[in-house]
Amino acid sequence: MLTWPKRIFLFVITNLLVLTTLNITMYLAEVVFELDLSGYKSLLLLSVVLGMSGSIISLLLSKVIAKRMMGLTLISPIDATGFEKKILNHVYSMAKKAGLKTMPEVGIYQSPEVNAFATGPSKNNSLVAVSSGLLENMDEDAIEGVLAHEISHIANGDMITLTLIQGIINIFVIFFARIIAKIIMDNSDNRSSFAYFGVVMGLQILLTFLGSIVVNFFSRWREYRADHGSAKIVGKAKMIKALRALQNIQIPVDNEHKAIASLKIAGNNSSFLSLLFATHPPLKQRIKRLEQGKI
């Protein structure tokens, strides 16, 4: 439901860490081992390798990082009872309707935020997580809408799509950061390797930030598709009910989850910039598209 902000946060942070490590390796190859990357072809080739590597590694680690970062308690298919068993049964039933061959892991994390997310490297290796705040503040119909939305993200292969998009952004970031840095350094009095590395890293941060506009555009589009998928699985009424519940719920967020919760999209974006960098479309627009039957 509010899945993309949390999922993107985990994915992007991991991607940046991996990308930074790869860039330090690239810097050492250039400076210490005197690898010649002055030719555009060799630089582009290495940018492709490193850019896609960072994105793919982030994808492969996504489930592990989500579990550790959020302190998830996984629901055991064998020992689950009561409400947890009901949640598990809902997820499994929806996953089968969505055509998933392998059932996702299901977890709950303790937080007053009303949130849920899905992640994992593939349809056959996925995770659905919900917050205690969501379970406490939504009725069963709305919860079903949320769970079906997350299952739709998995069935639609959204994490793989995001990986490919982020990988392409990484390639452009690595390549053009070095091209621009070389131009800057050629016109600078300080041409030390450390200064060059600093300029490259600064440019990469800036270009990654700008590249997030592209990622967020596709994120918003995939949200509409996941809403539509949820409507097909559990019915339009339950998905709309979940979205309306999000419009009406305002829960205080504890300090532990404040950093991530600040990235959540409440659906009240009004300015051009907030819409440009939003990972979710406004809730009002999502409800309208569902009512009109649009993806």
Token digits for 107?
Answer: 């977890």
Contact 215, 201 (CB under 8 A): no
Residue of 150, 223, 256, 291 marked active site? 150
Phi, psi of 74 (to 5 degrees): -75, 140
What strands lie across the sheet with 125-131, from one edge to the other?
73-74, 105-109, 125-131, 116-122
CA-closest candidate to residue 218, choices 167, 133, 278, 152? 278
Unique residue bearing structure tokens 């007053």: 112
Contacts 24+ apart (CB under 8 A), 93-101: 94/144, 94/147, 94/148, 94/151, 94/233, 94/234, 95/151, 95/154, 95/155, 97/233, 98/151, 98/152, 98/154, 98/155, 98/229, 98/233, 99/155, 100/124, 100/126, 100/151, 100/154, 100/155
CA-closest candidate to residue 226, choices 272, 218, 133, 112? 218
Pairing of strands 73-74, 105-109: antiparallel
150 in catalytic set: yes
Phi, psi of 194 (to 5 degrees): -70, -40
Beta strands in the chain (DSSP E): 73-74, 105-109, 116-122, 125-131
Contact 212, 276 (CB under 8 A): no
Q: Which residues are catalytic?
A: 150
